[in-house]
Amino acid sequence: MEPVLKDFDLDGMSVDQFVGYDNQGWLSKEPPAGIPVPRNLRRIADDPHKMSTEHFLLNVGPSHPSTHGALREILELNGESVMSSEAHVGYLHRGIEKLCESRQYTHLAPLMDRADYAGGILPETALAHAVENLAEIEVPERAHWLRAIAAEVNRIASHFLWLGPLGLDSGAMGPFLYMVRDREILQEILESLTGQRIMFNYVRPGGVFGDMTPDAEAKLRKWLAEADRRMDEHWDILAASELFQQRVKGIGVVSKEMALSMGATGFVARASGIDWDLRRDRPYGPYSKLDFDVKIAQDGDIWSRVVVRYDEFRQSIRMLRQLLDGLPEGPFMAKLPRVLRVPKGESYGYVEGCRGEIGIHIYSDGGTKPYRVRYRPPILYHLAMADTLLPGGMIADAIVTLASFDFCFGEVDR
């Protein structure tokens, strides 16, 4: 069924049909009966002591101003209150895992950029780790440091693309543009370093594509010189404002049990009191030599996530200063054959991505192309979590809760 085509008869459809039009592909042998639409792990029943209206279904997305990509969220509403919700994804599915099977190991990085389009360096690095682990490639130290520089710059840029739209979704237009201004500088640095602004293709198995450019280094040092002041400004313009705080405090609470059970990683886990950061607990590259803190918040609400991520900004800035000053000399690429052959086996490469643990699991059959690549998208797990948080709130809460998880649907759908 193609609802965008001109011959699609919208008026002839029942609401149930329209809302659940992709329900036809049941994966179970017997279609489950008697479950209402939308389906989710959580549902709010009507309180008989409170006023309730006839419930109606609201389709939010896939082209809605605040679904950030292509999320379709079906909300069952009682007035303004959300009673249940269901997330539909797949509008951006490009079969990246399948495409990976048709490419050489050294040619996978562009696909990783397209999977996580906000922070492409990080899955590239995870993939490089997986391949290097399996092929036992010795990576030069400088390559590790360059990867870390690119990753931290990209992490800050990606976080700006979360914080700004979080403000935008809560109604504040100004902060978004101030953050985009700073992100723009970081994108220029990455463009100078890698050749493109978003689709970097920079980190390869065995090293990186190019050495540090003087232009990028100068721009980065210039930005770092005023970064702390800029971050204070960004705190003041958005997070300090009481109007924003009353929108995010106590909303979208992920308890610690829920975070563990639903596979939260990264900032969502840290905001729920799980003290786990791959950069500190399983250091890769230069992170064991760097001095940084991991901020933990206990409440698990949106405000905790905001606080945790503001601290991630500052830690990344701190790390970047150390990385730039301590950048070792040497080659930036290991000597590799033109066509890389990887021995048979399995391997797992991981990084602390912008949004959580990005893990790349590779099966190799000994050839030049991977047999199977699994991209572990942290957002897929957070999406299921967000979906159970929406019932019980209001529409505005739903929007802000969804925004607070920093969804990147390239990563969810792959």
Partner 1 sequence: MNPWATGIIHTLLLIVIMLLNGSMIIYMLRKVLGHLHLRLGPTELGPGGILQLVPDIVKLLVKEDRHPGTTDRWLYIIAPVIVFVPALMAYIAIPFSDKLIGFDVNLGVLMLFGFLTVIPLGIFAAGWGSHNKYALIGAMRAVGGAISYEIPLLLSALIPIMLAGSFSLKAITMAQTTSIWYWLPAFPAMVIFFICSIMETNQSPFDMSEAESELVSGFNTEYSAMRFGFMYLAEFSNNFIMAAIMVCLFFGGWSLPFIDPNSMGVFAPIVFIIKTYLVIFAFMFVRGTFSRYRVDQMLAFGWKKLMPIALVYSVVVAFFVKLISMKTGGGL
Partner 2 sequence: MARWKFPVGIFKAMRIAWINLWRKNIVIQYPHEHYELPARARWSVEMTLDENGHHKCTGCKICENTCADYIINIDLSVDEERNKHINHWLYQRGACMMCGLCVEACPFDAIHMGKNIELAYFDKEDLTDDLLTDIDAVKPPRKERPAPTMKAEGGTDGDDS
Partner 3 sequence: MHVNSLLEAAGVETLSVEEESKIGIVVRVVPEQVHATLLALRDGDLSFEMLLDTFGADLGAETELPIEVTYHLRSLGNGIDIRVKTCLPYDGEYHSVIDIFQSVYLPERELCEMFGLYLEDHPNPKRLLTNPELTTPLRKSVQLRSKEEIWSRY
**List of residues contacting partner 3 (CB under 8 A):** 22-29, 32, 35, 39-41, 86, 89-90, 93, 95, 97-99, 102, 133-134, 258, 260-263, 265, 274, 276, 281-282, 345-348, 357, 359, 361, 363, 371-372, 374, 376, 380-381, 383-384, 413-414
Applying CB under 8 A, does 222 fall inside the site for partner 2?
no
Pick from 305, 274, 291, 279: nearest CA to 358: 279
Select from 163, 386, 399, 412 the one that contacts partner 1 (CB under 8 A): 399
Q: How far, in Å, CA of 22 to CA of 26, rounded?
A: 9
407, HSE (Cβ side, Cα atoms, 13 Å): 28
Q: Which of 31, 171, 328, 343 binds partner 1 (CB under 8 A)?
A: 171
Kindly write down the DSSP assignment for every residue of 70-100, as one continuous string. S-EEEEEEETTEEEEEEEE--TT---HHHHH
Bridge partners (DSSP) of residue 78 are 81
Rounded distance between C-alpha atoms, residue 177 and residue 12, angstroms: 43
**Partner in contact with 199, chosen from partner 2, partner 3, partner 1, none, beta carbon below 5 to 8 Å by kind:** partner 2
Phi and psi (nearest 5°) for 110?
-60, -35
Which two tokens mark 252?
């979208």
Least Cβ distance, residue 277 to partner 3 (angstroms)? 11
Question: Which C-beta is closer to partner 3: that of 68 or that of 376?
Answer: 376
Q: Per rule CB under 8 A, is residue 396 in the interface with partner 1? A: yes
Min CB(239)–partner 1 separation in Å: 10
Nearest to 378 by CA among 407, 347, 402, 398: 407
CB closer to partner 2, 75 vs 126:
126
Q: CB of residue 98 vs partner 3: minimum separation in angstroms?
A: 6
Alpha helices in 195-301 (DSSP H): 214-234, 242-248, 256-261, 266-271, 278-281
- With beta carbons less than 8 A apart as the criterion, state whether 207 and 139 touch: yes
Choosing among partner 3, partner 2, partner 1, none, which partner's interface includes residue 294 (Cβ < 5 to 8 Å by kind)? none
Is there binding between residue 93 and partner 2 (CB under 8 A)? no
Contact string (CB under 8 A) for partner 1, positions 177-206, x = contact? xx--x-------------------------
Stretch in the footprint of partner 1 (CB under 8 A) among 174-182, 274-282, 299-307, 329-337:
174-182
Sign of CA dihedral 255, 259, 260, 266: negative
Let me know how long the chain is. Answer: 414
- Judged by the rule CB under 8 A, the positions of this chain that interact with partner 2 are 99, 102-104, 106-107, 109-110, 114, 174, 178, 181, 184, 188, 191-196, 199, 201, 204, 206-207, 209-211, 213, 215-216, 233, 236-238, 240-245, 331-338
